[in-house]
């Protein structure tokens, strides 16, 4: 009986140990959109089960959803050192036919969010060569010298009037220096 108790205790302690992380050291943030369901309420019509690159969820834009949910955080919270470049990566699904969907990366000053310090739009149709197929896209972005820890980084999909639905999954933001 004591052996069973000790074996159970050892198993419990092993299960409580630190789990190894597989995230690269340059990764600042990532999301596969699986953990968002239930946490965001019904106010995010861009979260969908219609298509997914991995898991069950992705985000979308369509004629009813102009802007998707996305990443939004202070630069000082995601990196302890000043960044010069970041890389945005993700998996995109565009249906047949052209679409003008843009993956936006923006840096704003919270004191004046109406004037972005940086705004970069990756036209997904320029990156995706095969319709109706998940395609990995990435872009390296150089941050302006005047960016500080108090500026906010935002990454999201923008429909730009496209008539078709576009999907994004497995979004990764990396430090690219």
Task: List the beta strands (DSSP E) in the chain.
Answer: 27-31, 47-48, 58-61, 71-74, 85-93, 102-108, 118-123, 134-142, 152-158, 166-175
The whole-model pTM stands at: 0.81
Strand partners, 58: 48
Cβ-Cβ contacts under 8 Å for 164 (sequence gap 6 or more): 62, 94, 95, 97, 99
Cβ-Cβ contacts under 8 Å for 157 (sequence gap 6 or more): 46, 59, 60, 61, 67, 68, 70, 101, 102, 103, 104, 166, 168
d(C-alpha 109, C-alpha 75), whole Å: 11
Q: What is the pLDDT of residue 4?
A: 32
Q: Does residue 121 or residue 37 have the better pLDDT?
A: 121
Query: Which of 16-20, 64-68, 130-134 shows the lowest per-residue confidence on average (mean pLDDT)?
Result: 16-20
| Distance linking the first and last C-alpha atoms of the chain | 57
Task: For the chain, give every domain's residue range.
Answer: 26-175
**Top-level class of domain 26-175:** mainly beta
Residue 172 has pLDDT above 90, yes or no: yes
- Give me the mean pLDDT over the 89-98 stretch: 88
Q: 138: which 2 tokens?
A: 């990435």
pLDDT band at 26 (very low <50, low <70, confident <90, very high): confident
Residue 133 has pLDDT above 50, yes or no: yes
pLDDT band at 109 (very low <50, low <70, confident <90, very high): very high
Counting residues of the chain whose pLDDT is more than 90, the rounded percentage is 64
């Amino acid at each position: 009986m004591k052996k069973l108790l000790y074996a159970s205790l050892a198993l419990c302690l092993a299960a409580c140990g630190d789990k190894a992380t597989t995230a690269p050291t340059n990764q600042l943030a990532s999301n596969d959109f699986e953990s968002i369901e239930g946490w965001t309420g019904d106010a995010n019509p861009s979260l969908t089960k219609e298509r997914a690159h991995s898991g069950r969820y992705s985000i979308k834009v369509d004629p009813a959803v102009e802007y998707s949910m996305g990443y939004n955080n202070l630069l000082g919270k995601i990196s302890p050192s000043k960044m010069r470049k970041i890389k945005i990566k993700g998996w995109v699904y565009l249906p047949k036919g052209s679409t003008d969907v843009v993956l936006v990366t923006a840096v704003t000053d919270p004191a004046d969010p109406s004037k972005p310090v940086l705004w970069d739009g990756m036209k997904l149709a320029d990156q995706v060569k095969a319709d109706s197929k998940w395609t990995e896209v990435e872009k390296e972005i150089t941050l302006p010298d005047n960016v500080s820890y108090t500026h906010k980084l935002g990454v999201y999909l923008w429909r730009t009037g496209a008539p078709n639905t576009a999907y994004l999954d497995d979004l990764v933001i990396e430090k690219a220096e």
